[in-house]
């Protein structure tokens, strides 16, 4: 039997066709949205809490704030704008590659008042640059790329600062309404993704970062993937059955890690009165059964998958499940299509301070019928961080290239703490396989025999 070749192409990005004024409005709105969130996260605690370190894993919040301003100054004010430096003497203090997070509290950092004044001053200059610089003709500013890069940078620090809030002790200071309840009826537990090529990565998204580029065909064998992320109840069954004490579910590296650190459950969980409780942004509550599990590391995700007779999806499998439209052969921008993420599609942007239950976002399902790939929790994949064929570092090597290699595992899809600007279907995140403070969960996959299966 011969098969018809699939038309591998990428959905066009509407941002690309915006005129200069519309692009400026789009960029300004994204910058303003990220600053509003930074202000909430840094305004929720007093100066003492802003300046102290809540965990050796994290920077003091006031470091994040001034670092956001420092990067904005370097790229938008000095490079794109060609303006005079605002505070060149602090460049080195806020260079993430010069000082490990654990060392940052000991640096002569700007005070909270100085940091706020600094980021405000930089933002006024950045907006002035945005008003005047041409958004065509130079790669760094084409379709507003540098403004998109800096807004994504701030939003990524907003998620990091949210993780700092999760690690801090003391009463709750952040508040948000709960996410929507389940809206779907019962669905099959898995979706079979037919084997064949799809277009991975992007060459059409103007604000895509270097590691997402270029778009390239990837063959993926037939496989099945869970319709929803693994829930707390499902993961608790693994913990309750002794999964953390049984070596056979773990890789050698994972088992050594569990033993060394005495892990018995996801981070922030504790057993009390015969049930699991958790601490979430200063609130103690019973672990909700139907929410996607979070605060598990790659090793825990991998062990659970083995316990249920499955495995983690590879990064190409995850992206195919999210983006591939079998009716057209196109790769979509988002699981639901080309439309920018709205509240009906996914739990994003710190609108809610927890994942939504499985089945809460039917309008966000992918063409193949996989739900909640974007938002709620980042999802661990089994892949390490590799460049795509044709990768070229841009605009600097430290963005991605220095992290390539086997040390990191890829996370996809974004969490409730991630902004809509950093969850396009091609977006790639990475972290160390032992990290648990991030808002990460997972879903499982397994091999299925199919016409293009048997990989
Ligand atoms: Fe940064």
Where are the strands (E) in 92-148, listed by range? none
Ligand 1 centroid–CA 277 distance in Å is 33
pLDDT by residue (tens digit) across 151-190?
A: 999 999 999 999 999 999 999 999 999 999 999 888 999 9
Ligand 1 centroid–CA 101 distance in Å is 11
With beta carbons less than 8 A apart as the criterion, state whether 195 and 222 touch: yes
Is residue 17 over pLDDT 80?
no
Alpha-carbon gap, residue 408 to 402, rounded angstroms: 11
Is residue 322 over pLDDT 70?
yes
With beta carbons less than 8 A apart as the criterion, state whether 20 and 135 touch: yes
With beta carbons less than 8 A apart as the criterion, state whether 375 and 346 touch: yes
Ligand 1 centroid–CA 96 distance in Å is 6
102 is in an annotated binding site: yes
Q: Which of 445, 441, 455, 388 is nearest to 413 (CA)?
A: 441
Neighbouring CB atoms inside 10 A of 395's CB total 14
Ligand 1 centroid–CA 68 distance in Å is 7
With beta carbons less than 8 A apart as the criterion, state whether 423 and 413 touch: yes
Ligand 1 centroid–CA 157 distance in Å is 6
pLDDT value of position 311: 98
Ligand 1 centroid–CA 231 distance in Å is 31
Structural domain 176-455, CATH architecture: Alpha-Beta Complex (3.90)
Q: Which of 172, 364, 322 is nearest to 356 (CA)?
A: 364
323 is in an annotated binding site: no
pTM of the model: 0.95
Cis before 395 (ω within 30): yes
pLDDT by residue (tens digit) across 418-446?
A: 999 999 999 999 999 999 999 999 999 99
Give just the sign of the alpha carbon dihedral 335, 336, 338, 343: negative
Ligand 1 centroid–CA 417 distance in Å is 16
Ligand 1 centroid–CA 159 distance in Å is 11
Burial class (CB within 10 angstroms; exposed 0-12, middle 13-18, buried 19+) of 418: buried
Ligand 1 centroid–CA 12 distance in Å is 29
- The secondary structure element, H or E, covering residue 378 is strand 378-385
With beta carbons less than 8 A apart as the criterion, state whether 415 and 160 touch: no
Domain chopping of the chain, boundaries? 20-167, 176-455
Alpha-carbon gap, residue 23 to 17, rounded angstroms: 9
pLDDT by residue (tens digit) across 93-111?
A: 999 889 888 888 888 999 9
Is residue 1 over pLDDT 50?
no
Are both 20-167 and 176-455 of the same fold? no
pLDDT by residue (tens digit) across 357-400?
A: 999 999 999 999 999 999 999 999 999 999 999 999 999 888 89
Alpha-carbon gap, residue 428 to 152, rounded angstroms: 12
pLDDT value of position 4: 43
pLDDT by residue (tens digit) across 184-233?
A: 888 999 999 999 999 999 999 999 999 999 999 999 999 999 999 999 99
DSSP state of 324: B
- φ and ψ at residue 259, rounded to 5 degrees: -65, -45
Is residue 451 over pLDDT 90?
no
pLDDT value of position 204: 92
101 is in an annotated binding site: yes
pLDDT value of position 6: 56
For the domain made up of 20-167, the CATH class stated in words is mainly alpha
With beta carbons less than 8 A apart as the criterion, state whether 359 and 187 touch: yes
Is residue 139 over pLDDT 50?
yes
pLDDT value of position 316: 98
Alpha-carbon gap, residue 404 to 389, rounded angstroms: 13
């Amino acid at each position: 039997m011969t098969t018809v070749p699939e038309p591998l192409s990428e959905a066009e990005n509407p941002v690309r066709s915006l005129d200069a004024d519309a692009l400026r409005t789009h960029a300004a709105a994204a910058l303003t949205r990220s600053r509003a969130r930074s202000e909430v996260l840094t305004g929720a605690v007093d100066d003492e809490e802003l300046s102290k370190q809540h965990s050796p894993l994290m920077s003091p919040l006031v470091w994040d704030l001034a670092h956001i301003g420092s990067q904005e100054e370097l790229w938008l004010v000095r490079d794109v704008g060609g303006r005079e430096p605002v505070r060149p003497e602090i460049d080195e203090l806020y260079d993430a590659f010069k000082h490990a997070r654990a060392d940052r509290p000991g640096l002569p950092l700007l005070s909270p008042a100085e940091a706020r004044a600094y980021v405000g001053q930089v933002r006024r200059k950045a907006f002035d640059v945005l008003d005047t610089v041409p958004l065509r003709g130079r790669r760094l500013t084409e379709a507003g790329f540098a403004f998109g890069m800096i807004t994504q940078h701030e939003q990524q620090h907003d998620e990091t600062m949210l993780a700092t809030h999760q690690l801090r002790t003391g009463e709750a200071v952040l508040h948000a309404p709960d996410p929507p309840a389940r809206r779907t009826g019962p669905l099959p537990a898995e979706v079979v993704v037919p084997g064949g090529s799809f277009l991975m990565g992007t060459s059409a998204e103007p604000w895509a970062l270097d590691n997402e580029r270029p778009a390239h065909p990837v063959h993926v064998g037939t496989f099945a993937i869970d319709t929803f992320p693994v829930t707390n109840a499902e993961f608790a069954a693994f913990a309750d059955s002794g999964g953390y004490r049984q070596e056979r579910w773990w890789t050698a590296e994972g088992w050594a890690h569990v033993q060394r650190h005495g892990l018995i459950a996801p981070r922030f969980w504790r057993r009390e009165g015969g049930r699991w409780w958790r601490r979430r942004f200063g609130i103690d509550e019973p672990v909700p059964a139907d929410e996607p599990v979070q605060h598990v590391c790659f090793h825990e995700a991998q062990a659970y998958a083995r316990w249920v007779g499955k495995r983690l999806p590879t990064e190409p499998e995850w992206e195919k499940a999210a983006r591939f439209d079998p009716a057209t052969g196109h790769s979509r921008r988002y699981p639901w299509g080309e439309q920018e993420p709205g509240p009906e599609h996914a739990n994003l942007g710190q609108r809610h301070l927890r994942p939504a239950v499985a089945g809460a976002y039917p309008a966000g399902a992918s063409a193949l019928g996989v739900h909640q790939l974007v938002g709620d929790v980042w999802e661990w994949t089994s892949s390490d961080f590799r460049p795509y064929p044709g990768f070229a570092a841009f605009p600097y090597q430290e963005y991605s290239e220095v992290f390539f290699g086997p040390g990191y595992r890829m996370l996809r899809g974004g969490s409730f703490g991630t902004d809509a600007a950093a969850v396009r279907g091609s977006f790639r995140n990475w972290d160390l396989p032992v990290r648990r403070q991030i808002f990460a969960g997972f879903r499982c996959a397994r091999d299925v025999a199919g016409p293009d299966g048997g990989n």
